[in-house]
Amino acid sequence: MNLIPWRNKDPDRAMQALMPSFENFRTEMDRLFSRFFSEPLGFAGAGRWLELTPRVDLADTESAVEVKVEVPGVEPKDIDIEVSDNMLFIRGQKVRDREEKKRNYYYAEREQGSFSRSIPLPTSVNADKVDATFKDGVLTVTLPKKPGSVGRKVPVRNA
């Protein structure tokens, strides 16, 4: 298919021939962007997947690495934490039961899903002294640094 008919030297007529192609392209791009922003990652159900991926904050202090993970609705017993080779692995299961009984109806719903995060640590940590606490839906993991891995300030001298 030729986009520009070579036999026709009339520029206005050539542009009219191209307009349907540009309109189709624009419509397709609008639909693509609309779908991307309404369905994250471009497929239905991805919003639920993103909902189960917990948000993480990492702070590198002088003596430890502190990781805070938002896991609302998850019970501490449903969370597994593992430290291996400068990596922190956090896995868990979210199960939510909802039941409502009223005069004229009965409503029951069950949601469940698992999540997993792998977090690279900025320095070597002492895996034997890792501490984890859970409060108000926030998991805080404190990973003490190994004695040899604590950084120090280096002064810059004139040469």
**Three-state secondary structure of the chain:** CCCCCCCCCCHHHHHHHHHHHHHHHHHHHHHHHHHHHHCHHHCCCHHHHHHCCCCEEEEECCCEEEEEEECCCCCHHHEEEEEECCEEEEEEEEEEEEEEECCCCEEEEEEEEEEEEEEECCCCECHHHCEEEEECCEEEEEEEECHHHCCCCCCCCCC
Lowest mean pLDDT across 6-15, 17-26, 66-75, 84-93: 6-15
Q: What is the pLDDT of residue 90?
A: 93
- Mean of the pLDDT values across residues 101-112? 78
Lowest mean pLDDT across 42-56, 79-93, 107-121: 42-56
Count: domains in the chain = 2
In a shared domain, residues 68 and 135: yes
pLDDT band at 53 (very low <50, low <70, confident <90, very high): confident
In a shared domain, residues 58 and 130: yes
- CATH classification of the domain holding 143: 2.60.40.790
- Mean of the pLDDT values across residues 100-109? 80
Q: Is residue 84 part of a domain?
A: yes
Q: What is the pLDDT of residue 50?
A: 46
- What is the extent of the structural domain holding 43? 11-51
In a shared domain, residues 22 and 63: no
Q: Is residue 5 part of a domain?
A: no
Q: What is the pLDDT of residue 49?
A: 45
